[in-house]
A and B are shown apart, each in its own frame.
Chain A
């Protein structure tokens, strides 16, 4: 640039710079006002060393030691639901609708767990067969969600009278879960991993969770463990069983309509995948080996190996005559963990009991049949209550069932119904000021029926 500007040139430069600055600041202001109404976040700030207390772990004699430290309590709530999968979602909505302060913590950025993030999609065992008649056992919050999805184009199939095992679109499901959680008035913490529990003697008082904000705590009167893996009751030291199960990875392929089924069949490819609500998309399962989902090295290995084998398979299909247009749409964001920890509850629901359809005085939900081929099996409240630990109810696939019943308990429909029951029971125990295991059964069942649940 020239060293000496004329006056005119200087004025022109200043005017231009002024206009530019004004425009730029306007844009920034717009962006700030568009952000949530919380305190304005400065674009950048220098964090001085001493401003935030730090408690780094230190090496002491070759061992890594974490020092004792106070945790910030970000929320005090009546009912805290940990895990935003089908069970946690139903529990949070049911609890908030009763009118108690409800908080939901989820480790990923969306609700639905394996249903949406694991791309399981199909809500198996939504129905049972009673005296030759198809009976819907999935009612209440879960069924309401599915019914609302029918109003959206290409969001759900098989959700109609006479049909069973509805299959949903994951994005529509996530959206509708957000809507229902918001409407129910649940306080939500996404991207928060529960790391530990807050204990007061033998009573669970809250959880400690880890997020980008660091380690923080939420205190609650009752905690619903809907983590699936039983992370909360395990951390609280409740008696439980640890099992291995197959861990797979689901994927979806796109452009299925453009492939030539006859040619593919001639080349030995039976089907590209199963039914999906979305056009031209097919769903493919990969069951995977039986292993321990609590071993992070194993999870890492599986995630990478599964993804490689899926990639190679789709590439192989693309090279097969007739399969040229096919593409890999998506691998599931979450590994397909089926079972890990099972609570030792006050009642262990067994396969034999489920098979004979045994009635329970404390039945709070009914499980269905995988393809509606047998009668429903009442699920007792006792299967959700820990033997000794106070202040916690379990919901979803980690409740107290025997080895053979796992395959039915881990299905989405059973998670939705047990979640609904656990949420309502937790809210009721807060309202009546009793321990969760002491809730009045007649009152709980009446409440559940009032919310549209099915108890057999």
Chain B
């Protein structure tokens, strides 16, 4: 059994199709394939549950040990969700690439795509193991709060793809779902390149398999008395790995230090702007779950680093006071898991009034924002001897839900707008 596993592992590492026609045990192969189809169906069912308000889409990306490790390091907190990845983590410790062979829905899709292309070539053989460096850079970055390439997790890409179809079609949502199709097209041109050379989740599994590697290395060292080659290679990998992790940390530090002039509005309970764009895996769960459709993928407002991260837009609707769906579905911890009560106290940013354009401030009897505010945070305030009346936002009550901005009749730029200054309301 162990020997078989090892064979499969080495075969995988050397780029031979795992489920080849020349495999010795076709029945066993069929069973494995059936198992993988089951996994794919389960993955789709999790990411696209029948009930719209169900939050099972959080589970699939949370299973990834890559996401779990990097997020936990970056956010520096352990949630129940992180524990989901622990069984997978334990399995890959002893069986590298176990998840790739049995649990990864993207892997199965790739195998399926490969069948469309009979002739296999090894054009990618010269490609260095990019995935390993990506994973190391990300781990290093995570230590400093910014996992650089966490968004490349295949399960997140898979989730993002399904989420793009779960909501009303829009250019923005389609773009977030482009990751998986790109992978599949890549697979058509360079078969298995992604899985064996680029995928950071696969690389993480290999890096994590140190107990097994260590065991193998010690036995080999005993067998080959000189033991120069494998031992030396292991050492050099560790050094390069350490250097890559340091580089990742440096990159993360640089990205965290570069401040955006105007931070964008993030869902309630989001990490600070320094770490958010790194920890967010762009799985699209929050945008999909939001009943008001105010969470949208970003294009440019939060810089290149924040491409496709969720930002809030209050043009049409606002962050409902009876909802914390985005807090329930974030698998990476970029948006904290908050109870409804805690979310209601979380401030997205205060609303600010532009008295130059505000209708009420200009003698018109508009009180749209005052009436709409679910937290009764806006009051009338008389100024200029009664000749002007201004809406005044009570900072102790305003959560920045954006109801006022959504209802403000002033165009094109609303006279009352939420500005990003996250915080917390006092209790009660």
Enumerate chain A interface residues (CB-CB to B < 8 A).
124, 246, 248, 270-271, 273-274, 283-289, 306, 309, 313, 351, 369-371, 373-374, 404, 407, 411
Docked-complex contact A284 and B363, CB < 8 angstroms: yes
Contacts of B407 in A (CB 8 A): 373-374
For B361, the closest partner residue in chain A by CB is: A270
Contact with A along B375-397 (1 / 0, CB 8 A): 00000101001111100000000
A286 touches B366 (CB 8 A): no
Q: Which chain A residues border B386 with CB–CB below 8 Å?
A: 248, 286-289, 306, 309
Mask of B335-367 contacts with A, CB within 8 angstroms, 1/0 = 000000000000000000000100100111111
How many angstroms from the CA of A124 to the CA of B365 in the assembled complex?
9
Distance in Å: Cβ of B145 to nearest Cβ of chain A: 42
Question: Considering only CB atoms, which chain B residue lies closest to A250 in the complex?
Answer: B363
Give chain B residues whose Cβ lies under 8 Å from the Cβ of A309: 385-387
Whole-angstrom distance between the alpha carbons of A130 and B34 in the complex? Answer: 52
B425 on interface, CB distance cutoff 8 Å: no
B387 touches A370 (CB 8 A): no
Complex contact A274–B387 (CB within 8 A):
no
Contact B367 A407 (CB under 8 A): yes
Q: Is the CB–CB distance between B366 and A371 below 8 Å?
A: yes
Q: Considering only CB atoms, which chain B residue lies closest to A373 in the complex?
A: B409
Given contacts A286-B387, A407-B371, contact A371 B359 (CB under 8 A): yes
Please give the distance in Å from B415's CB to the nearest CB on chain A: 11
User: Is B108 at the interface (CB under 8 A from chain A)?
Assistant: no
Chain A neighbourhood of B387, CB < 8 A: 284-287, 309, 313
Residue numbers of B with Cβ under 8 A of A are 356, 359, 362-368, 371, 380, 382, 385-389, 407, 409
Cα A351 to Cα B373 in complex, Å, equals 12
Q: What B residues does A407 contact at CB under 8 A?
A: 365, 367, 371
User: Which residues of chain B come closer than 8 Å to A370, judged between CB atoms?
Assistant: 365-366, 368, 409
Contact A351 B362 (CB under 8 A): no
Chain B residue numbers with a CB within 8 Å of A374 are 407
- Evaluate contact between B409 and A404: CB separation under 8 angstroms: no
B314 to chain A, nearest CB (A): 14
**CB-CB nearest in chain A for B389:** A287
Residues of A within 8 A of B368 (CB): 370, 373
Apart from A274-B363, A407-B365, A407-B367, list 6 A-B contacts with CB within 8 A: A248-B386, A270-B362, A285-B365, A370-B365, A370-B366, A371-B366
Q: Which of A124, A283, A285 has the most CB of B within 10 A?
A: A285
Asked whether B362 lies within 8 Å of A289 as measured between CB atoms, the reply is no
Main secondary structure, interface of A, reads: loop
A85-B385 Cα distance, complex, nearest whole Å: 29
Q: Which residues of A contact B389 (CB under 8 A)?
A: 246, 287
A309 to B368, alpha carbons, bound, how many Å? 28
Report the minimum CB–CB distance from B347 to chain A (whole Å): 24
In chain A, what residue has the closest Cβ to B356?
A270
Between-chain CB contacts (< 8 Å), 13 pairs: A246-B380, A284-B363, A285-B363, A286-B387, A287-B380, A309-B385, A309-B387, A313-B385, A369-B409, A371-B409, A374-B407, A407-B365, A407-B371
Q: Contact between A271 and B362 (Cβ–Cβ < 8 Å)? A: yes
How far, in whole Å, are A373 and B372 apart by their CA atoms in the complex? 14
Q: How far is the CB of B366 from chain A (nearest CB, A)?
A: 6
- Contacts A248-B386, A309-B385, A313-B385; A285 near B364 (Cβ below 8 A): yes
Chain A residues positioned under 8 Å from B365 (CB to CB): 124, 285, 287, 370, 407, 411
Chain A residues in 8 Å Cβ range of B409: 369-371, 373
Q: Bound state CA distance, A286 and B387, in angstroms?
A: 5
A285: which B residues are within 8 A, CB to CB? 363-365, 387
The 5 closest A-B pairs by CB, nearest first: A371-B409, A285-B363, A373-B409, A287-B389, A404-B371
Please report the C-alpha to C-alpha distance between residue A306 and residue B389 in the assembled complex, in whole angstroms: 15
Q: Which residues of A contact B366 (CB under 8 A)?
A: 370-371
Residues of A within 8 A of B356 (CB): 270
Q: How far, in Å, is A433 (CB) from chain B's closest CB? A: 42
B126 to chain A, nearest CB (A): 56
| Distance A271 CA – B387 CA, assembled complex (angstroms) | 12
**Residue of A whose beta carbon sits closest to that of B370:** A407
Q: What is the chain B residue whose CB lies nearest that of A165?
A: B364
Evaluate contact between B364 and A274: CB separation under 8 angstroms.
yes
Closest Cβ neighbor of A122 among chain B residues: B364
Complex: A374 Cα to B387 Cα, angstroms = 28
CA distance A287 to B371 in the complex (A): 17
- Taking the nearest CB of chain A, how far is it from the CB of B377, in angstroms? 14
State the CA gap A9–B248 with chains docked (Å).
130
> Which residues of B are found within 8 Å of A411, using beta-carbon distances?
365
Give the complex CA separation of A112 and B365 in angstroms. 19
In the bound complex, CA of A273 to CA of B364 (Å): 10
Shortest distance from the beta carbon of B179 to any chain A beta carbon, whole Å: 33
Kindly report which residue of chain B lies nearest to residue A288, judged by CB atoms.
B386
Alpha-carbon separation in the docked complex, A404 to B367 (Å) = 10
